[in-house]
Amino acid sequence: MSNAVIELDQVCLGWRDRVAVRDVTGSFERGSLTAIVGPNGAGKSTLIKGIMGLVSPVRGRIRLGREASEQMACLPQLGELDRSFPVTTYDLVAMGAWKRTGAWKGYGDAEHDRVHAALARVGLADFGPRIIGTLSGGQLQRALFARLMLHDASTLLLDEPFAAVDRHTTEELMALLENWHGEGRTVIAVLHDLDMVRSHFPQTLLMAGQAVAWGPTEQVLTNENLHLARHLCAGDYL
């Protein structure tokens, strides 16, 4: 019996005349901790959007297991958030409970306690009333991690979770990822820091518009594979 949470079968993703991801085949196993890496323009974020259902495959198929289809949550890139929107940090985090509360169930004491606990967990216990536009990049990223806690999902996708975040914050947030992995959750993260990937992620998918290599990190992040990925993104082998 397959232990795959997400399966990709010759997946091509893009829009209009541009294909950003082509012919990717493979699977993310339940409880795995996987980094998606590659040069700029490699299709990493597009692949995340495809898995989330925000971009439909041009060709091929993305299959989600029941666990992923019912309990999947995503942490977007910071640049995709409208920081001018006048929402408090508390409300941003509380949005993570939407699947449980919906529009009509109300927000009871238990959910309020969850929000306060999540804010405290990421070091933002006193930041609930602050408008998100007043937060630093690191503080906002902590708030997004707290929102992810409210989702309480079994499959977590994170798109550049450590971008514009200082080293101390990165280490604390990485510890959260490892804790989620230790709880048996499936964690998939788009990253740029290859040293961090080598230190913390057992599995890696190296992208360059296509899957250059996918498997155990030490077998994927070889000099040969990284060299090939750079040239593929530069168009040298296309």
List pLDDT tens digits, range 144-166: 999 999 999 999 999 999 987 89
pLDDT confidence tier of residue 114, bands split at 50, 70 and 90: very high
pLDDT confidence tier of residue 21, bands split at 50, 70 and 90: very high
Is residue 236 pLDDT above 60, yes or no?
A: no
Is residue 237 pLDDT above 50, yes or no?
A: no
Instruction: Tell me what pLDDT residue 1 has.
Output: 46
Average of per-residue pLDDT across 136-143: 93
Please state, rounded to an integer, the average pLDDT across all residues of the chain. 91
Query: How far is it, in rounded angstroms, from Cα 211 to Cα 42?
Result: 9
Amino acid at 174: M
In the chain, what percentage of residues exceed pLDDT 90? Answer: 77
Query: How far is it, in rounded angstroms, from Cα 217 to Cα 50?
Result: 23
- The closest alpha carbon to 162, from 180, 184, 142, 148, belongs to 142
Are 203 and 171 in contact by the 8 Å Cβ rule? The answer is no
Is residue 68 pLDDT above 70, yes or no?
A: yes
Amino acid at 181: H
Structural domains in the chain?
1-71+154-164+186-238 (3.40.50.300), 77-152 (no CATH)
pLDDT confidence tier of residue 102, bands split at 50, 70 and 90: low
Rounded to two decimals, what is the model's pTM? 0.91
Identify which of 1-10, 22-31, 78-87, 228-237 has the greatest average pLDDT.
22-31
List pLDDT tens digits, range 50-65: 999 999 999 999 999 9
Average of per-residue pLDDT across 78-102: 84
Structure tokens at 171: 């280490």
Q: H helices of the chain, where? A: 44-52, 66-70, 89-94, 98-101, 109-121, 137-151, 167-182, 194-200, 217-220, 223-234
